[in-house]
A = this chain, B = another copy of it.
Amino acid sequence: MDIEIQLQQVFDLPPGQVREISQYFVEETVGKGEFFLGNGQRADRLSFIASGIFRVFAQTESREVTQWIGGEGYFITDLSSFLFDQPSRWQIQALTDAKVLSLYKSDYQRFESLLPQWNVVEKRFIAKCFMVLESRVFDFISLSAEERYLQYFEQHKAFFNQVPLQFIASVLGMTPETLSRIRSKVGG
């Protein structure tokens, strides 16, 4: 997945500025199972997933809760930790071998002076993250578990052969057993 194309889509910038930005993204590889962001660390980079799959999760008293699964073409970080320099609320682990392009905070912070449009771009990016979550909340209060599964399956078919279903179940807010039964019922 080409980062320039993706940056263009996400940030909606002219090609010249995309090229200027993209050179600050540093390529990194992450092995399957590795922790990309550990417990209580600060997120010091915003990473574009060139290949591979990650999960974002937290530990509660009783169990691990996977909040989000990100694959190729998505960005991954703990946004509030990255933006506000707080200890992260989430851990991030690679579920497959992965390659990411990381924008480190030190470079990110210089964009404001480098690019006149940067604050608009940044605002748009954060606002889009907001909209995604807004839809997700609405799904939880308006759809059944089965409907949530069907929608997720349509939008993330690529995950289903590569990530343990228990993580997908958690993202959908149900137990692995329930997800398994829904799948056998609807024939996915």
Residues on A close to B: CB < 8 A?
58, 60, 65, 67, 79-80, 83-84, 89, 119-120, 122-124, 126-127, 129-131, 133-134, 136-138, 140-142, 170-173
Contact = CB atoms under 8 A, between A and B. Distances in A.
Nearest to A118: B119
Main secondary structure of the interface of A (DSSP, over half): helix
A79 B123 contact: no
Contacts of A130: 79-80, 126, 129-130, 133
A142 B60 contact: yes
Contacts of A133: 130, 133-134, 136-137
A138 B83 contact: no
A141 B167 CA distance: 11
